Structure 1
Amino acid sequence: MKKIILTGGGSAGHVTPNLALVPSLKELGYEIQYIGTRNGIERKIIEDEKIKYHIISSGKLRRYFDIKNFTDPFRVLKGIFQAVVIMRREKPNIVFSKGGFVSVPVVIAAYLNKIPVIIHESDITPGLANKLSIPYCTKICVTFPESLKNVKGHDAVLTGTPIRQELLDGSRIIGRRLCGFTDEKPILLIIGGSLGSRFINNTVRNSLNELLRVFNIVHICGRGNVDKSLNMRKGYIQFEYLNRELPHIMNAADIVVSRAGANVIFELLALKKPNLLIPLSRASSRGDQILNAASFEKSGYSMVLQEEEMTQMTFLNKIKELYASRNNYINNMKASPVRHGVSKIINLIEKCSN
């Protein structure tokens, strides 16, 4: 039996694409294991799927000054040693990395053990973890055509992003039932990312009176960000994070407000959901979401509102505009040549693991 080790963590966006590969890998007879951190969001998600989970140490890769920048390199070195031990014990045929800071020790350990490594980059430009991992990998999977020039000189393949089949199989009826909505108002879904966005959360909550006149609202607000004082508002429901319920609720949504992480925007494209993207600003990110959003806006798949331009008034106006023109966005998404990348990535895994 072939064996594959998956890795990736720090946010759900570095985990869920791995899960999209699991059914196909099982069909092909792979034994699947995962390497992550002790307290990362990836641990619960993977253990819920009954996949064998290995814990290693890992430092966070920061672009700003922090005293931990002096100690975390030692945590990374410890993580490399731990990952090397795991590789030698488990002897996987291949490693697939979705990025995030935990992936760097795993990729290096696989390289040291002469195990093929495939990494996947969701955004137009590689994140810091993947930049560090690229010299040690066998193949690089990218999502946007624009990405190919950003990994020039390396063995890059345009695959698209892997999307879980269950997301495509969600039920609108079940989604409405899970939310307890009894009227026929359209559903506005707010996704602030698995870690939440205080900025989006506050703007949404300050706009509830106006929004609830037109929409029922599902608000995925991130861990620790539920406002219990709003639990009794009719037509408004909050979740910290959704896993198994998410396919049904995404299918029930009529329009969506989201950050512009590559995984979620390609899920919205696959589901053909009209969306307003609010990318993370350059002040709090490396600007990858701004590039992702610009690409989707140019293709006619998304409406975009920059965080610096966002006020309660501009937010409400964009929501009204999006809902009024939703059919245009749906038609543009129907005409998209982009398909999700499970089959291409699986073929690459098969080729490299042989």
Structure 2
Amino acid sequence: MHPITFSGVRKKGLMRWLALPFTLFKSTRQATSILKSIQPDAVLVMGGYVSVPTAIASFLKGIPLIIHEQNSIPGLANKLCSIFAHKVCYAFAGSFKGKTNNKYIHTGNPINHSLHTSIKTTSSKIKHSGFHILILGGSLGAKTINITIPQALAKLQEKVTQPLLITHQCGRNHLHETKQCYQQTSLYAENVDIIEFSDSLPDLYQQADMIVARAGAMSVAEINSVGCPALFIPYPHAVNDHQYHNAKNLQNNPQYAHLYAIIRDQQLTIDNACEKLYQLYKAIQQHPLDHMETKHLSATKNIVCIIEQTIAKNS
């Protein structure tokens, strides 16, 4: 770990922007010194403001630079870094519109390696007596999801004959509040498992018939890869509204558009959540998703190959 002194500028006020040339100069000198010390054969940056001085330093030192963009909408840092990059990897089709030369490569997102051995298609998932819904609010939780979805699921249970089996990851410090929300519904307590956080997502994915989640880049990539239908509720304050566009990228694919739904966080209500979930439920019964996206599964290997090829070409 080699720290450098730098900070973001978006939504940080005029003074931060005015100071940018000086802070960028200082951080680039620090990054240059670090690169001189460790002598890397290549530099890989994954976005975020700290990538910018590192990318500039690698360019000044003539070190091959590879960047990776995980979201559908490239961030400001990666847009700047792409100017200096030898190769630009990106996760979702259309991220760098109009960029068609071989510098830009659609690799997918490198997902958790444990998913590779646990992924099953819908038709071969663990069989159970009910319809299993997995709710993921992230490690910190999502209050609107925790409050609204329990009531929506209770209404959904009135519409379907299968018992709903629910696993709800509510986020740290939200356990008591989320339990109270479920206790106010007509759902059977024994069918509801509420957890703060899980390190066993592959197992949870494997059992799920449907998922409710935010639309962070890695969540979308993992859900798409395990072949599970989902209702996405994008985080409303994401930069460039990238979570919405991550989810929209899946919904725009005609292969499985009917098995992905989106509700804006500010438009989330009990009624429209229930309706979207019911539409997904019916779609799953009629046209189950029997395949998965393999792009993300091979992303790590592909990115490593690109790094190796870039080093070889520039050595």
TM class by shorter-chain length?
Answer: 0.7 to 0.9
Is 1:60–1:72's contact at 8 Å kept on the other side of the alignment?
A: no
Shift of residue 97 of structure 1?
1.6
SS of corresponding position for 1:248: helix
1:37-186 to 2 correspondences below 5 Å:
53-62=1-10, 64=11, 66=13, 69=16, 73=20, 76-149=24-97, 151=99, 155-170=103-118, 184-186=129-131
Residue in 2 that maps onto 1:292: 246
Name the TM-score, length of structure 2 as normaliser: 0.76
Shift of residue 338 of structure 1?
4.4
Of structures 1 and 2, the one with the larger relative CO (CA 8 A, separation 6+) is 2
1:241-280 to 2 correspondences below 5 Å:
242-243=198-199, 245-280=200-235
Name the TM-score, length of structure 1 as normaliser: 0.69
Distance 1:192 1:255, change over 3 A: same
Letter in 1 for 2:136: I
Supply the RMSD in Å over aligned alpha carbons. 3.3
1:324-335 to 2 correspondences below 5 Å:
324-327=282-285, 330-331=288-289, 334=291
How far apart in 1 are the matches of 2:117 and 2:31?
A: 36
How many residue pairs get aligned? The number is: 287
Shift of residue 205 of structure 1?
4.9
Distance 1:318 1:117, change over 3 A: same
Distance 1:150 1:238, change over 3 A: farther
Identity of matched residues, %:
29
Unpaired runs of at least 5, structure 1: 1-52, 173-182
How far apart in 1 are the matches of 2:178 and 2:230?
A: 28
How far apart in 2 are the matches of 1:220 and 1:150?
A: 39
Deviations along 1:77-103, one digit per CA (max 9) or x if unpaired, are 544333222211111111112212332
Distance 1:284 1:87, change over 3 A: closer
Residue in 1 that maps onto 2:265: 307
How far apart in 2 are the matches of 1:229 and 1:144?
A: 33
Is 1:125–1:150's contact at 8 Å kept on the other side of the alignment?
A: no
Is 1:142–1:160's contact at 8 Å kept on the other side of the alignment?
A: yes
Distance 1:198 1:229, change over 3 A: closer
Correspondence 1:239 to 2:196? yes
Letter in 2 for 1:236: D
Match 2:281 to one of 313, 317, 323: 323
Shift of residue 286 of structure 1?
1.1
Is 1:195–1:222's contact at 8 Å kept on the other side of the alignment?
A: yes
Shift of residue 325 of structure 1?
2.0
Deviations along 1:226-253, one digit per CA (max 9) or x if unpaired, are 446728964232224x44x222222222
How far apart in 2 are the matches of 1:61 and 1:156?
A: 27
Larger radius of gyration: 2
How far apart in 2 are the matches of 1:166 and 1:212?
A: 33
1:209-220 to 2 correspondences below 5 Å:
210=155, 214-220=163-169
SS of corresponding position for 1:104: helix
283-292 or 128-137, which deviates more: 283-292
Distance 1:306 1:57, change over 3 A: same
Is 1:194–1:223's contact at 8 Å kept on the other side of the alignment?
A: yes
SS of corresponding position for 1:54: coil
